[in-house]
Amino acid sequence: MVTPAQNHRLRRVAVLSVHTSPLAQPGTGDAGGMNVYVLQSAVQLARRGIEVEIFTRATSSADAPVVEAAPGVLVRNVVAGPFEGLDKHDLPTQLCAFTAGVLREEAHHEPGYYDLIHSHYWLSGQVGWLARDRWGVPQVHTAHTLAAVKNASLAEGDTPEPAARQIGEQQVVAEADRLITNTSDEATQLVDIYGAARGRIDVVAPGADLSRYRPGDRGAARAELGLDPRELIVTFVGRIQPLKAPDVLLRAAAVLHEREPDLPLRVLVVGGPSGTGLDRPDSLIELAAALGISARVTFLPPQPPDRLVQVYRASDVVAVPSYSESFGLVAIEAQASGTPVVAADVGGLGVAVRGGDTGLLVAGHDTGDWADALRTLLVDPDRRAAMARRAPVHAADFSWEHTADGLLDSYHRAVAGYRRSPDLAARRGRGMWKMRRLGGVRA
Ligand code: UDP
């Protein structure tokens, strides 16, 4: 761990999170793991003596310009475009206004106020790249998801990410001083898809709040949530959108119910609408009815962390059937709370879950395969209990403290690299070279 004394060159970091606020309730709309990541990593950096200022777009006229989210963590709500009703796809039109807000804020301070910029998602990357050149400080960028990767595993009814996003991602990869990915597979994707130099990439795993997500009494959790102590509960937690595949879980539950009508199965779906297609709990309610399992499915709106831990504890299994997942914080939180996870073997879920040990990894989204995987654990309480014991041990490797250590290492590398070659010429050359490759971006 880097001590505060070693951080003398890193006093203040500007974190850019254009399209989702760290203050929003995750689990609905555009608020999910990235919000949790931005806030939790900022809290940990602040504990190490680094001030963090998070710039996000104001989405309500009631948003104060500055909010202290935690000691040493300020959220700056930048007015850029209409507060409400701006579609995520229209956000690029507001990047100029957002950038102006960020630059104006810095202009109020003495030169060198921010030591480093950390941008999250490609929209923020575009803003960070301009601010970086203006302020003369390095930019570290985390993409979180890549358009080409998402497009390669679209769910039915999902809208492909536009070419403009791929172009934007390509530019940010070329311009940022360092790139951070959640997994080494993601690092390889940056190299393969966008030609990023591997030496500029740091792999830093995200985490879970392990002081909150801990094993606890299942019976008490069920009583608090009004759930039946005798049922076998399989839970989905997250934004309700096609990419998260909650419908795969419902269909698998229907198969299981048909095969074994006496199994006291309950599917718990926790989260709110997001995105397009099968994005409304209404459509899942209709699907459950069409599958004849309405009486077996319970829906809960997005839950704050202190209730969510009870959801995880109350569950026999947490299912993460996503078509694409950069990491899957829900999988780590569930295991930290002592619950095995059945997850699709995609993206970071293969790292987040130790298949066969703390849960099961399912290849693909075949309903029968999913029904089989769920059954394997549901009918075997001993195996479930063994996995439940191992799950928090595995999850202990993924703390936000650990993440902050990795971020700091990356930040220090960025600062050192920037000091060695502060002139923009080298970077410009790199950017131009990438620009010539744009036509070749692989989908
Ligand atoms: N979450 C929450 N309440 C909910 C549902 C989700 O706080 O009702 C949080 C959850 O704790 C997790 C995040 O939203 O930290 C979802 O992150 P994940 O990486 O699983 O998915 P993403 O949203 O990034 O696709």
Atom of ligand 1 lying closest to residue 144 CA: 24
Name the residue of 329, 337, 399 to mutate for ligand 1: max ligand atoms within 8 A of Cβ.
329
218 marked as binding residue: no
Name the nearest CA neighbour of 56 among 3, 15, 94, 117: 15
DSSP 23-51: TSPSSBTTBSHHHHHHHHHHHHHHHTT-E
DSSP 218-279: HHHHHHHHT--TTSEEEEEES-BSGGG-HHHHHHHHHHHHHH-TTS-EEEEEE--B-SSSS-
| pLDDT of 413 | 96
Helix (H, G, I), strand (E, B) or coil at 347: coil
Backbone angles phi, psi at 196, to 5 degrees: -65, 145
What is the block-wise mean pLDDT of the chain (443 residues), using blocks of 10 residues? 55 96 85 94 97 96 95 97 88 97 95 96 97 95 93 83 93 95 96 94 98 98 98 96 93 97 97 64 91 96 95 98 95 98 97 98 97 98 98 98 98 91 57 45 38
Using the mean position of ligand 1's atoms as its centre, give its distance from the Cα of residue 305 in Å. 9
Cβ of 302 below 6 Å from ligand 1: yes
> Are the C-beta atoms of residues 27 and 238 closer than 8 Å to each other?
yes
Cβ of 54 below 6 Å from ligand 1: no
Structure ipTM? 0.99
| pLDDT of 155 | 79
Axis crossing angle, helix 246-259 with helix 281-290, rounded to the nearest 10 = 20
Cβ of 36 below 6 Å from ligand 1: yes
> Are the C-beta atoms of residues 325 and 302 closer than 8 Å to each other?
no
Edge-to-edge strand ranges of the sheet holding 12-17:
66-70, 73-78, 51-57, 12-17, 116-120, 139-142, 178-181, 201-203
| pLDDT of 84 | 85
Gap between the Cα atoms of 4 and 2, Å rounded: 7
- Counted residue by residue, the chain has a size of 443
Cβ of 348 below 6 Å from ligand 1: no
Using the mean position of ligand 1's atoms as its centre, give its distance from the Cα of residue 243 in Å. 14
339 marked as binding residue: yes
Cβ of 330 below 6 Å from ligand 1: yes
> Are the C-beta atoms of residues 387 and 357 closer than 8 Å to each other?
yes
| pLDDT of 438 | 46
Pairing of strands 73-78, 66-70: antiparallel
Using the mean position of ligand 1's atoms as its centre, give its distance from the Cα of residue 239 in Å. 7
315 marked as binding residue: yes
Name the residue of 237, 325, 327, 332 to mutate for ligand 1: max ligand atoms within 8 A of Cβ.
237
Name the residue of 153, 236, 308 to mutate for ligand 1: max ligand atoms within 8 A of Cβ.
308
> Are the C-beta atoms of residues 235 and 222 closer than 8 Å to each other?
no
| pLDDT of 152 | 87
